[in-house]
Amino acid sequence: MNDTPVSVAGPTGRAPGTTGAAVTAAGHRDDHPRDECGVIGISTPHGDGIAELTFFGLFALQHRGQEAAGIAVSDGQRARVHKDEGLVANVFTPEAMAPLTGYHSIGHTRYSTTGSNAQRNIQPFLVETMHGPLAVAHNGNIVNAPALRDELLSRGFGLTATSDTEVVALMLAAAGGRTWEERLERTLPAWKGAFSLVLLDADEVIAVRDPWGFRPLSVGKLPSGGHAVASESCALATLGCTDIDEVRPGEIVTLKGSEISRHQALAPAARSARCTFEFVYFSRPDSVWDGHNVHHVRQRLGVELARESAVDADVVIPVPDSSIPAAIGYSNETGIPHNDGLIKNRYIGRTFIEPTQNMRERGVALKFNALAENLAGKRVLMIDDSLVRGTTAGPLVKLVRDAGATEVHLRITCPPITHACHFGVDMGHDSDLMAARRTVQEMQEHIGADSLAFLSLDGMMRAVGATEGYCNACFTGAYPIAVDEAQAKLSFEGAIA
């Protein structure tokens, strides 16, 4: 695998010993929404171990995307990138990281929402411009990307990928202005949708967040005197950062060694639109989002569930891992004992080995095993964070019943998901969503539970501690900005095979 200096750098080769496309271990899609990615940017005054710092920051963000990862670094004159399919620890071997020296870096770990998971879409994108090197990594989704892409093509630009991030990179490369901050500020108004961006030029790192604040982005001070910016505060804490603060919606933050400058480039939207699903599922429980600890909010989701839809049961079990705090909250509120009922294989998320037909039929048994000793002869209250397509809820209910449970009641820590997301979360189309096609009673019968209940929208927001300022379009269909121009995930794939 090669590291490419400054140029339009294509992705490196496939990891040794792997062939074909990745499949989920269960042979079908995991029934959870998928976030697009995690991003990180670091600038240090001395450059010691810049690639290693970026690696460990990305490692802390691995939960946000498991398809691919990349790091771009610059040393004040030139930039190089290394990126490939796979998990962070597989992509970045000591040999791959050795050439990644410099003072500034950005990194990306990816799950695709716009564009397939093809090699050409792996980030960061690194291009050579008349102003020097520019690398871009992006978390979110630009809903008007098709129109922007068509405009670039009409102006004679050649596009090599099918991602909205490449559109962002080329627009910046073509923008006027004396500095990258000026070019970014001139280009920002054209982008509609969700974006938390990190940019790398020859001698600095720049971060920016959309004016609605859809996706998270935080900045902190490194022990070395430099600074870092990342999708979640947990990554900054891993690096030992202090003075951690959110990047404000519409704000540009520039990191250059020990220096940091912050500039409000766009006025924040009149009504912010933070993604509620960061609390429900995406963010790591030790992260802070909008001033609230994620684990604590998830516990309150369980408390609200208990208040709204309590049922007689003998034990409360979570579907690990994101539902564990909610199960604790539900148990504390009702007095029903909390225990483990499902054990998760945490290493099964990405594999290049196709399951046999027999194993495929076993479905969730590849990912979960039931603890019969905690379930047999008991009325079980099972808590999960969401129910999207309904592909795993039924098998999980069956798994618990087969372990000897006399009743299985399912509780979900958010409202029914009835509309697709267009702001960086892959939930599929509206027609893919179980709650868009079935009533709660029909869903209960389909998955075979003794009862099924979802947390209300009001209950969810009570747990979050807010009455406004959040995007709940996937529950309500009330999108904070128009999505008429939004594209399907693979809509750019036709022209480039």
In a domain, 482, yes or no: no
Q: What's the confidence (pLDDT) of residue 235?
A: 98
Are residues 258 and 294 both part of a single domain? no
Predicted confidence pLDDT, tens digits, the chain (497 residues): 334 333 333 333 333 233 233 333 333 445 666 556 899 999 999 888 999 999 999 999 999 988 899 999 999 999 999 999 999 999 999 999 999 999 999 999 987 544 444 688 899 999 999 999 999 999 999 999 989 999 999 998 888 877 888 999 999 999 999 999 999 999 999 999 999 999 999 999 999 999 999 999 999 999 989 999 999 999 999 999 999 999 999 999 999 999 999 999 999 999 999 999 999 999 999 999 999 999 999 999 999 999 999 999 999 999 998 899 999 999 999 999 999 999 998 766 545 555 666 766 666 778 899 999 999 999 999 999 999 988 889 999 999 999 999 999 999 999 999 999 999 887 777 788 999 999 999 999 999 999 999 999 999 999 999 999 999 999 999 999 988 755 554 444 444 44
C-beta separation of 138 from 41 below 8 A: no
Q: Which residue has the tokens 């019969």?
A: 372
Which CA distances in Å does 90 have to 25, 135, 396, 472, 477?
18, 22, 30, 35, 39
C-beta separation of 389 from 428 below 8 A: yes
Domain CATH number, residue 44? 3.60.20.10
Q: What's the confidence (pLDDT) of residue 118?
A: 67
Q: Is 122 exposed, middle or buried (0-12, 13-18, 19+ CB in 10 A)?
A: buried
Torsion of CA 251, 127, 224, 99, to 10 degrees: 160
- Which residues, including other chains, have CB under 8 Å from residue 107's CB and lie 6 or more apart? 39, 40, 41, 54, 55, 57, 58, 69, 70, 71, 72, 124, 137
Are residues 98 and 225 both part of a single domain? yes
Are residues 229 and 84 both part of a single domain? yes
In a domain, 492, yes or no: no
**Separation of alpha carbons 149 and 167, rounded Å:** 6
**5-14 b/e (C-beta count within 10 Å ≥ 16 → b):** ebeebbbbee
Are residues 118 and 258 both part of a single domain? yes
Q: Which residue has the tokens 């909610």?
A: 326
Q: What's the confidence (pLDDT) of residue 419?
A: 94
Are residues 255 and 314 both part of a single domain? no
Structure tokens at 14: 């496939």
Are residues 76 and 207 both part of a single domain? yes
Are residues 38 and 141 both part of a single domain? yes
Are residues 202 and 305 both part of a single domain? no
In a domain, 224, yes or no: yes
Are residues 263 and 314 both part of a single domain? no
Give the domain-ending residue among 241, 271, 301.
271
In a domain, 261, yes or no: yes
Residue 124 belongs to domain spanning: 4-271
In a domain, 331, yes or no: yes
Are residues 124 and 177 both part of a single domain? yes
**What is the tally of helices (H) and strands (E) in the chain?**
17, 26
Are residues 317 and 428 both part of a single domain? yes
Q: What's the confidence (pLDDT) of residue 112?
A: 55
DSSP 324-388: HHHHHHHHHHH-PPB---EEE-TT-S-BSSPPPHHHHHHGGGGTEEE-HHHHTT-EEEEEES--S
Q: What's the confidence (pLDDT) of residue 209?
A: 97
Active site residue 471: no
In a domain, 491, yes or no: no
Are residues 51 and 146 both part of a single domain? yes
In a domain, 450, yes or no: yes
Domain CATH number, residue 358? 3.40.50.2020
Among the listed residues 37, 234, 275, 474, the single catalytic one is 37
In a domain, 481, yes or no: no
- Which residues, including other chains, have CB under 8 Å from residue 49's CB and lie 6 or more apart? none
Count of domains forming the chain: 2
Nearest CA to 414 among 362, 454, 375?
454
